[in-house]
Amino acid sequence: MPGKTERLTRREREIMNAIFALGNRASADDIRARLTSPPGDSAVRVMLARLEKKGLLKHAQEGVRYMYSATISPAAAKRNALEQYLHTFFGGSLRKMMTALVAEERWTDEELDALKAEIDRVRRERKNKS
């Protein structure tokens, strides 16, 4: 799957998010309408072509317009985004990232209990696999 894990710019990631939000099928105009401070039409088309070259998008012609869709699943895109975030802000350390997230003061006791329960569930599954 070469190319699919390439780093995306903020705008490229925003385009991918827009495509997923639009049901994984959208025209350049549909995508542009969802972007914050949208660039010009030709700039959006250049970015779409770049994402196609990276292997992340494909298009199909419908009448006079192209309809774009992602070549990866939303789950794979989310995983790639998290990996990029992990490397950019935490030097690749998952432990540092999770510690920073858990240390946030906005968690309720119920949310922290749910996180602990999920950690316990994963531990049990790992023991059962051993």
Dump pLDDT digits (tens) for 67-80.
Answer: 999 999 988 888 88
Provide the percentage of residues in the chain whose pLDDT is more than 70: 95
Helix (H, G, I), strand (E, B) or coil at 69: strand
Instruction: Please name the amino acid found at residue 5.
Output: T
Instruction: Please name the amino acid found at residue 87.
Output: H
Res. 40: pLDDT tops 50 = yes
- Indicate the pTM of the whole model: 0.68
State the burial class of residue 68 (Cβ atoms within 10 Å of its Cβ: 0-12, 13-18, 19+).
buried
pLDDT band at 60 (very low <50, low <70, confident <90, very high): very high
